[in-house]
Amino acid sequence: MLDINTGHCIMERKTVHENLARKQRERDRQLRELKQVELQLKMAQDALVHTQLLHDKTKSTSDANPKSDSILKTRQEIQLEVDKLKRNLIHQQPVAEVETQLIEQCVEQEQELMRQSHRHREELHTLGCLTQIKADEREQKSRDRHRAELQSHNSTAQTQEECGRVYSQSRTTKRKPAPSRTMTSCSQTN
């Protein structure tokens, strides 16, 4: 009977030892997976920080320099490609759901900032066009006024010249029209 109890205890001890070893291996495997997920999360966060820094740097550079339409179109295409790559990165890495939502929120915020930047750029372009139109209108008014002044000056000079001719002809023909009347009528037209 003692042999049976001893055999039974040995079997129990062996089973407990196997269960303990199996649980230890499972715990080690879970720790490795957790470390791997944490490493992937850290890499994703670092990539996000790097992308945000690049975005801020690019935005400050682009705000300092006016862009042409072709450069803006190229920038939008590149931005779409970057967004697509970010989404692919999110789907490739088995990151926890909370971290995925955080990254998606950052991407959405970045897209909203890009839309705002585009709207502001369009407003700036519109204001520049309006300023140019106003300047053109002022220039046209100035030219019209100058042209009117020249025409007025020319017509005044012509009138004085005609009055002078009429007066000299009247003196040469020895008619006696009232010279003061001719002069007054010429001076009145001025």
Note the pLDDT tens digit of each residue in 125-166.
898 888 999 989 999 999 999 999 999 998 898 888 888 888
Q: What is the DSSP letter of 176?
A: -
User: To 5 degrees, how large is the angle CA 11–CA 16–CA 20?
Assistant: 150
Residue 110 pLDDT class (50, 70, 90 cuts): confident
d(CA 44, CA 38): 10
- The SS3 of residue 29 is helix
For the question of whether the overall pTM of this predicted structure is more than 0.75, the answer is no
Question: Among 13-27, 67-81, 173-187, where is mean pLDDT lowest?
Answer: 173-187
